[in-house]
Amino acid sequence: MIITVASLKGGQAKTTTAVHIAAQMQTHAKTLLVDGDPNRSALNWHKRRGFPFEVCDERQAVKFSRDFTHIIFDTQARPGKEDLEVLAGGCDQLIIPLTPDALSLDTLFVFTDSLKQLGATQFKILLTIVPPRPARDGEDVRQTLTAAGLPVFRATVRRYKAFQKAALSGVLVKDVADEYAAAAWADYEAVADEIMSKTKGEAKK
Residues constituting the chain = 205
Residues that bind Mg ion (CB under 5 A): 14-15, 41
How far apart (Å, rounded) are the C-alpha atoms in residues 36 and 73?
Answer: 7
Q: Per-residue string for binding with ligand ATP, 41-80, x by CB under 6 A?
A: x-----------------------------------x---
Residue 159 in the binding site for ligand ATP (CB under 6 A) = yes
Question: Which of ligand ATP, Mg ion, none does residue 24 bind (CB under 5 to 8 Å by kind)?
Answer: none
Residue 15 in the binding site for ligand ATP (CB under 6 A) = yes
Among 1, 3, 8, 16, binds ligand ATP (CB under 6 A): 16
Q: Which of residues 88-147 bind ligand ATP (CB under 6 A)?
A: 128-129
- Quick one: which of 34, 76, 39 has its CA closest to 53? 34
Give me the least distance between CB of 58 and Mg ion, in Å please.
Answer: 13
Using the minimum distance from each CB to Mg ion, give the nearer residue, 14 or 20.
14
| Residue 72 CA: distances (Å) to CA of 65, 126, 192 | 10, 15, 12
Q: Which stretch binds ligand ATP (CB under 6 A): 26-34, 109-117, 155-163, 193-201?
A: 155-163
Helices (H), 55-160: 61-65, 81-89, 102-117, 137-147
Amino acid at 178: D
Using the minimum distance from each CB to Mg ion, give the nearer residue, 41 or 99.
41
Using the minimum distance from each CB to Mg ion, give the nearer residue, 12 or 156.
12
Question: Which of Mg ion, ligand ATP, none does residue 118 bind (CB under 5 to 8 Å by kind)?
Answer: none
**Cβ atoms within 10 Å of 110's Cβ, excluding its own:** 11
The DSSP secondary-structure symbol of 55 reads E
Question: CB neighbours of 15 closer than 8 A, spacing ≥ 6?
Answer: 5, 37, 41, 42, 45, 74, 167
Helices (H), the chain: 14-26, 41-49, 61-65, 81-89, 102-117, 137-147, 161-169, 181-204
Using the minimum distance from each CB to ligand ATP, give the nearer residue, 10 or 52.
10
Query: Where on the chain is the footprint of ligand ATP (CB under 6 A)?
Result: 10-16, 37, 41, 77, 128-129, 157, 159-160, 163-164, 167
